[in-house]
A and B are shown apart, each in its own frame.
Chain A
Amino acid sequence: MTEQPLQGHMYLFDSATPPLDDGSYRLTVGTQVDYQGTGQGFSRQHYFDIIGPRFSVPQSMVATTWPPSNGHGAFQDGLAHVVLSRRTLPWERELDPSNLIPPPTIPPGAPAAPAPPVPWVALLVFEEGEYTLLRNIPLQQAVPADVFGRLGSPANISCDAVEADADLVASILPSVEELQLLAHVRWVNVQDRELNTAGGDGYYAVVISNRLPEPDAQCRAVLVSLEERADLVQANPPPFIFPRTGATAQAEAAPPAEAEPPAAGLEVGPADVLPSPIFTLSQPPVHTFSPLIPLPVQFPSGPRVRLIALTSWQFTCEGPGTFRQLMQNLDVAMLGTVADVGHPPLADTGHLQIELQDRLGASEAVWYRGPGVPYNLTRDPNGPYHSADQARRVTPETGAEDVSYAAAFEVGRLLAAADPRFAQAIMRWRRESYKQSARASTIGAMEQRLTLSLPGTLAETLHTPVSPIIGTAAAQAVAASGPPLADAYGLTKVGGAAGMNPANLAAAWNLSSASEAADLLGADPGTLGAVATPPAPTIRPDTTLAEVAADTAGLARLSAARAQAVANATTTLGGA
């Protein structure tokens, strides 16, 4: 695992761009070879495409969304966002490669627009009734013809699209600068997360919407593609207002910012005093509509536009449902606590009464408790168990059987039996143990019966073959138990024979001396086992080739010998 932020820390980045944007590329490789004044150039072209998600985003790239998909809750004060596990996704394509969108006009005094890149996606929130989601339509129908042409007229592409009023889309679609502000990258710590977290490196791209969903509305958030949509994306953000806020309302109480000329016939009063609902026939009633309350019914009017929907999800703004509310409303207890005591029938130890068919087929009420218990228990020291029946217990208080541990035994057995590789491993474990056990028994038995001097580490050096070592040790022991083999070939005994003794021989044959008899016997002292000294080798000086060549006398002798040999051969062959 590469480094990651400290626990509790999070880093934010403006954008993350891939080394190359999506698109088609041409790679030209060239080399120039010069040899002895003449040169030759070689070059070759290759084409390759970088293809990323363009007309739909697979669900596997959506790490999470807020509000949750199909969630219900108080989402009306939050801006919906989608978290993408592919961190470069919003910046992988160009929003406007043809430069059809004019550069924004920045009013004096305002900060400069953020630096590129500009994301090509935006998250739009529509309420129920405002939009139509079109599933799997041809791309030609999802975008206007000129946009289709600028997209490269890809054939046979189907995509989802969302259709809504042009006015509505224009009122919520972010401008270029806003697009940039609504997407960023986060880098978080993923140490204490459960396992299915997509994007294991902790980087995520986040695309935010700019629209607050209405309370009590069912909404759909749609991640749309704005690639080449110069017809919709505005260079400058549309005009804005400050709705009456608590802070500004106080500050602006005195200046007549909102004090419009009063309607004729009405008494001019303080701005915050509503007209009296009492009216007379001479004075028509005054209806005041707050500009902040939208009309309950909106009729579709004007043209409708379609946008490519990359991914979308629905949520409903009703009731509590934020993370905080859900967490605070949790029912917290130890496992084994039930709201309605007796349903299910639970003992205070956490045991649950269940029905069981015993071996005879009769129904029996038994106790069961899972691995999660409400108390800290001591560990059963009576182990191991070899069958489930060993683990069955009868509780003295109730007389009923407790099958918890027997059930655990059986589920463990079934899980293990379902895994062929585990069966192989456990068989290998046993086989190895049996083999080592047999080996240790062999060594022990041999040492017990024979007084062998086996190496002390034999029992630990498991790969040493036992039989040759024991064989060698046994042979050594046998050899060590007899007299020393001084006269291995019986030469001393033979030497002791009467006919082989020089003194006896000299006496028998009436020789003058024993040495004479020894000569008769061969005079070879080695015969009788005595030590024979080899003759010293003759020392010869080293001779170099130059010395040999300079030895004229020797050369003359060799020449003479050769001439003699030639003469002899000539004579042998009959003159000539």
Chain B
Amino acid sequence: MEGLQWGNGFDRHFFHLIRDHSMQGFYGSPRHGGNRNNVSYKMMKLDYPVIIGQNRYNLKSDGK
């Protein structure tokens, strides 16, 4: 593969692979072992787990 050289101690392809896998773990479903307790979704203020179709409603009794 072109550019797969470690001469200067840094490989672009390898770095991108690690970067992609890190983001897949952090932003992907917790079923894969990352994103524990939906931590990234909480960070993005995204309601999880998905109650199918109904997350846009506020289900708390106090309405807040």
The finding on whether chains A and B are genuine partners in a shared complex, rather than unrelated, reads: no
* Chain A residues within 8 Å of B, Cβ to Cβ: none
